[in-house]
């Protein structure tokens, strides 16, 4: 299957990059055709331009600078997102990737009455998320009620790829992990993916 791995962490030696590398090797070993999109390495510009935003409700989305990104998303059958959860949200660069690449005419269409969204990512069968959080699990689950998971599953995928399977693995208290805990999490990624 065609797998797009999107990585969003600025540090070369980060835990997220390590988890991404392990996931990429695992997906390749399983025979998937893997495309890696490292947003920081590519210097992806997360800023939605005036031209892009103005074209949201026009006949065609102004996508001149995004053709490669749009094609990668359109062709993906499996999407793997690897990123840190900062302030219980996405890194700005990943949020900008959603804003600019999950665009009308590509990820979805507006309904004729503009009261809904019609999904377009029919090829996308699975979305797998690997994220790290500095907080303990109970803060994410009980106090904030897993906001990143809700946004991904309900708001983004629920409108653009309704029939895809979704799995999210979160590594909590990531700033104080032992090597053993990291290895157990990597094993969990491999058994889940």
CATH number, domain of 117, equals: 3.40.50.360
Residue 149 and residue 120: Cα distance in Å, rounded? Answer: 21
pLDDT of res. 193: 85
pLDDT digit string (tens) for 14-52?
999 999 999 999 999 999 999 999 999 999 999 999 999
**Mean pLDDT rounded to a whole number for the chain:** 96
| Partners of residue 130 on adjacent β-strands | 82, 169
Residue 121 and residue 78: Cα distance in Å, rounded? Answer: 11
CA distances from 101 to 83, 105, 113, 132, 180 (A): 17, 10, 23, 23, 37
How many domains in the chain?
A: 1
Q: Do 37 and 4 meet the contact criterion of CB atoms below 8 Å apart?
A: yes
Q: Give which of 151, 10, 176 is closest to 90, Cα–Cα.
A: 151
Where are the extended beta strands (E) located within the chain? Answer: 2-7, 33-38, 78-84, 108-110, 117-119, 126-132, 165-171
Domain of residue 154 covers: 2-192
pLDDT digit string (tens) for 115-156?
899 999 999 999 999 999 999 999 999 999 999 999 999 999
Residue 33 and residue 28: Cα distance in Å, rounded? Answer: 7
Q: Do 155 and 127 meet the contact criterion of CB atoms below 8 Å apart?
A: no
């Amino acid at each position: 299957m065609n797998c797009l791995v999107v990585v969003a962490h600025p540090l070369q030696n980060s835990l997220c990059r390590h988890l991404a590398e392990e996931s990429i090797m695992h997906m390749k070993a399983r025979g998937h055709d893997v495309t890696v999109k490292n947003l920081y390495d590519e210097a992806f510009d997360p800023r939605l331009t005036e031209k892009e935003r103005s074209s949201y409700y026009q006949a065609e989305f102004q996508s001149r600078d995004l053709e490669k990104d749009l094609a990668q998303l359109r062709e993906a059958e499996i999407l793997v997102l690897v990123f840190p959860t900062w302030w219980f949200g996405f890194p700005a660069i990943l949020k900008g990737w959603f804003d600019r690449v999950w665009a009308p005419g590509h990820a979805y269409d507006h309904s004729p009455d503009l009261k809904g969204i019609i999904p377009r990512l029919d090829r996308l069968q699975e979305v797998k998320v690997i994220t790290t959080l500095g907080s303990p699990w109970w803060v994410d689950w009980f106090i904030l009620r897993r906001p990143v998971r809700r946004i991904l599953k309900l708001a983004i995928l629920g409108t653009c790829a309704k029939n895809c399977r979704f799995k999210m693995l979160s590594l909590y208290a990531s700033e104080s992990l032992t090597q053993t805990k990291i290895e157990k999490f990597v094993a969990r990624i491999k058994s889940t993916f």
